Structure 1
């Protein structure tokens, strides 16, 4: 059945290394709905990112990462609603959708898990929005939408107000004295800004993180969306 979400104030918690040391966990946990992405953990990071999760938006490529720790994701946190997005070839229900098949098995093992998958219609809607906002065709420009893109579009439908924590804006990496952090708060790895530039300029197969953030800033002007840690000035 279709997913019905009705939230008042939503917190969207970024996976960025910006979240490390922010100590906003208690504040985040007060929100009526808390959105997280992919396999970003709360365990061991509660002080910075909070411990509650209402909705977890997960890319088809991150499903195997959740399945490395299914007890944690599908049993301990069984109040969480999982929204899995991915292309039709992976999500098809005729036995050939590799990710859909994994999820079906998961529900067999964890019958209380609340797992939803995006429809083809929803996926193409997100592409249409990208084209409308950027003037670029996502497929022709050789890019993939990010989980953040799907999360924000879903949250704008479900929430009266949105507070995004730990997401950088499109000019952050060129600003003076920016904070050098790893791409994810929960694992050492490539520097966040390096990763952003790498993706933005990849001829194909990259996420247009910087372009997406420009669009988010535009949405923030029209909707009740605020970005903090770091703060965005949406002029």
Structure 2
């Protein structure tokens, strides 16, 4: 499924947590782990979601559960402007394997649009003899989620618009403050000190003669190699 959306989709999506009124079966969610890169371009968050699956009471009683738990991992890349979502079932994982993948990416023809893609796989190994029933329930639930996907995002986009949020600045790399040490600057060497004897002034010696007579090895040690006086 691919469709295009405008405005701050990423901000709208985050509003689905910890619960979403448009998804009645989504009862609650807890953050399991979270990672943010130093430049804040990458944000990965993993949640444990509690779902009240629309299944016959008899089937729930046989399975011995009232709720089903899924683990969802959201990987947001602000640098590439992508959001990838991976989800898998934690409950009955030894009997049923459900994997779902969703992605929000920039539309190739219009960078102000967002493309949404969703796919899922279901593998039922065994489920107390109710494999066919579980498959029908899973397919019904997945089809319903596809239809609601765009509706939910548009709901939160409208909510943001009502709050006056119609634009979210794109991520830009932080400007690093490079402080150069004083030793990194090239400084002009300081000329050694010159002692001008009173007698030279009296005898009328010119500046050139004074410099020539003052360039002795002992006087050149008045400065360090990097030009700092001692």
| Superposition TM-score tier, normalisation by shorter sequence | under 0.3
| Higher RCO (Cα < 8 Å, 6 or more apart) | 1
Larger CA Rg, structure 1 vs 2: 2
> Which structure's residues are more often helix, by fraction?
1
TM-score, normalising length from structure 1?
Answer: 0.24
TM-score, normalising length from structure 2?
Answer: 0.24
> Which structure's residues are more often strand, by fraction?
2
